[in-house]
Amino acid sequence: MYTYRDTVNANLICCICRHPFVNPISTTICSHTFCTECITEALSHTPQCPVDRSSLQKSDLKPADPIIRNLVDELLVECPNKSKGCQETPQRHMVNAHAKDVCDYEEVDCPSAKCKSKPLRKDLSTHQLTCDRRTIQCAACHQTISFADAEVHREKCPCAITACLDCGVDIVREEMQRHGEACPLATITCVHSTTGCAWVGIREDYTTFHLPSCPYEALKGFFANHAKENATLRQEVCMLRSGLREVTDEMAKAKQALGPWFRSSPQSTISAQPPERLPGRRRLSSPFTNGVLGFADPQRGTSEIATQPSERSGPSMSPPPMETTGMPSLVLQDFTSRAQPHTMVPPVNVEGTLENSLWSLRNSVVALSTELESLSRRQEMHFTTEILRLHEEVASLRATVHGLRMQVHTFMSSNVLSGGVGYTQYGGAGDSATVRYLNQSPPPTTVISIATQHRRVTENKL
């Protein structure tokens, strides 16, 4: 909102807000002029002209004539900073530029980077002279610093002049350390203080009085050699610790890799005494260990292990005969006749790595599993074949018995119907039968054929 210095012409007043036009806009239907914001808000509620109530849409609006814009923009208004003391009355279209760039009563930012004060434009020069965050230049090192940090910088400035605490001579701060190493009044300790000398005094008395009479001066050669040997021993200890740490890490990795194969018993006990058997555990029998898996018996000596291949090749390795009756004997005999010749499995290589030995054992177990699966499959097929053959034989016997039963039934029926007693004569080949009667004329000869089935012999060619 603007505060106008003079009375405004009524023709320049908006009939909605009752203030001079701001961004005036006119209608094309009734030629009435309103503020852009006022007419937009009015049409959002009622699409009618606020003056004559005629129908009006946003498409019926157009910018007002330039002369109307110029008249309202040239109206004199008071400066927004009048309450702070500004008495200027610029034109309305210039009031923002006046407050931003010209007005002495407008608040502006301080040029100092860390200063948050906002003085008036007319007081800015005075504020810059007294601002705590203004930048100044150090007189000693010519470095640009903040005024608030000047005291801290002065205490640490390397080019500032300071007095020696021992002799009182004024020296540049960056040269103070070098001066302290040569100051004759500086308090120092004896060079042999690390070995036991407790003397403390000024530097000029050290070389003149103390050093010639210091008892540790005569032993400085011994102390030097001792320190050198200690340094060598420390280096060796560090190397040994590093090696021990590596060995410990490798042992931990080996223990983790071995798992249950790791034994923590001392080596002397293992070499002196044989391992004790745990109670409740039983060792595998030698025939299974040596004959099936090919492993060496851990309780036997090396010489006996060396002779195992020759012993396995002898007749003692053949399985003992089994005297049983029934179907299992047929299966075992068939499997024995079809089994491949026995292949000697070498014992576990004790000279190789544990990983290779475990891999060899795993391959042996996989081979045994495959062989057992193949054996099971062959046995199943053999049983299936035998059962099929038995079924065929039983079916043949049933058919034969049925034929005999039908023949006897026919004979009995014919004898009852004729009321005589006769006898039955069978043919030589066994394929037909004839009934003869003694006391009456025989009926027509009846020949009955008996169905004969031939057994089909199947062989297991698997």
pLDDT in tens, 192-232: 888 888 889 888 888 888 888 888 888 888 888 988 999 99
52 assigned to some structural domain: yes
178 assigned to some structural domain: yes
Q: What percent of the chain has pLDDT over 70?
A: 70
d(CA 60, CA 36): 13
Instruction: Say which amino acid occupies 299.
Output: Q
137 assigned to some structural domain: yes
Count the alpha carbons within 13 Å of 366 in the hemisphere toward its beta carbon.
6
50 assigned to some structural domain: yes
Q: Which residue, 425, 403, 402, 422, is CA-closest to 412?
A: 422
Count the alpha carbons within 13 Å of 456 in the hemisphere toward its beta carbon.
9
Q: Which residue, 80, 58, 114, is CA-closest to 1?
A: 80
Spell out where 332-448 has E strands.
Answer: 422-426, 433-437
State which residues form the domain around 57: 10-75
Q: What is the DSSP letter of 293?
A: I
Among 136, 160, 182, the domain-final residue is 182
Structure tokens at 83: 């309450």
So what's the pLDDT on residue 6?
85
150 and 193 together in one domain: no
147 and 194 together in one domain: no
Residues in the chain: 462
So what's the pLDDT on residue 444?
53
Whether the predicted pLDDT of 342 surpasses 60: no
How many separate domains does the chain show? 3
Per-residue pLDDT band for 386 (boundaries 50, 70, 90) equals very high
Per-residue pLDDT band for 360 (boundaries 50, 70, 90) equals confident
Whether the predicted pLDDT of 446 surpasses 60: no
- The CA-based angle 78-84-87, given to 5 degrees, is 35
- Model pLDDT for residues 241-289, shown as the tens digit of each residue: 999 999 999 999 888 877 666 666 555 444 444 444 444 444 444 443 4
153: CATH:
3.30.40.10
Of 139-143, 256-260, 368-372, the range with the highest mean pLDDT is 368-372
Supply the pTM of this predicted model: 0.34
Residue 213: in which H helix or E strand, if any? helix 211-213
Per-residue pLDDT band for 119 (boundaries 50, 70, 90) equals confident
60 assigned to some structural domain: yes
206 and 172 together in one domain: no
Whether the predicted pLDDT of 323 surpasses 60: no
So what's the pLDDT on residue 265?
58
Whether the predicted pLDDT of 56 surpasses 70: yes
195 assigned to some structural domain: yes
437 assigned to some structural domain: no
Buried/exposed 381-398: b ≥16 CB within 10 Å, e otherwise: ebeeebeebeeeeeeeee
291 assigned to some structural domain: no
23 and 49 together in one domain: yes
Among 167, 182, 197, the domain-final residue is 182
Instruction: Answer yes or no: are the C-beta atoms of 99 and 79 closer than 8 Å.
Output: yes
